[in-house]
Amino acid sequence: MTAPDAGRGIWDGEETRTFTGLPRDTFRILHVSTGNVCRSPITERLTRHALADRLGDPLWGGLVVESAGTWGHEGAPMEANAEAVLADFGADASGFTGRELLDEHVIRADLVLTATRDHRAQVISMGHSAGLRTFTLKEFTRLVRAIDPATLPSLEEGMVVRARALVRAAAALRGWLLAPTAEADEVYDPYGAPLPFFRSVGDEIHQALDPVVTALTGVPARA
């Protein structure tokens, strides 16, 4: 029997989907940046933290959150300043190791959220019909804000069903709801920058994630 993997996702491996009491179906969210030591680890762990805060359930309704880098530092620890940012939000940075983005990560992902448009293009160029499920984080946030939650499946139908419907709705809006500027969809790389810049990037990511997690779970952030 496979145990939960605190370092990468919630439950990893097809066999874990059939355990008694666990979701038989999962929805995988993959966060992508360049080195997988700054932006995508922050985004991964803030997403997990927000889900746990809203749901209070370690299984998060079948949602699996992970990350990788297009030039990933395989096996590398998270940058110390990234860990400090996560500590500011009370999020867990433990057990993280960097990964290089592989075909299998894209194939398994139901939603890919990238730091920049260039990352998005790199993911889509890998194939695997990734275009309709790959967005920059800020792009996805903008699209999600335009979706009426009442049009999504209710939580009684399951969070995985709701999440898949959210991605389809966002993809349908993409050609109609454009960014005001190209830079509006970018989260810039803080690698090598001082802690204050890391914190500004962390705030940016946190603000972008809030409406996404609210739409996924149907639960707003606690005041």
pLDDT for res 181: 84
Q: Exposed/middle/buried for 20, CB within 10 Å: 0-12, 13-18, 19+?
A: exposed
Instruction: Answer positive or negative: Cα dihedral of 138, 143, 146, 152.
Output: negative
Question: Mean pLDDT, to the nearest integer, of 75-84?
Answer: 97
Residue 190 tokens read as 């803080």
Tell me: the pLDDT tens digits for 28-76?
999 999 999 999 999 999 999 999 999 887 566 899 999 999 998 899 9
pLDDT of 14 higher than 80: no
pLDDT for res 15: 34
All residues at 6 or more sequence positions from 89 whose CB lies less than 8 Å from its CB, including other chains: 46, 49, 202, 206
* CA–CA separation, 140 and 133 (whole Å): 10
Question: Mean pLDDT, to the nearest integer, of 167-180?
Answer: 90
Lowest mean pLDDT among 53-62, 97-106, 155-164: 53-62
201, 188 Cβ separation under 8 angstroms: yes
Question: Mean pLDDT, to the nearest integer, of 196-212?
Answer: 98
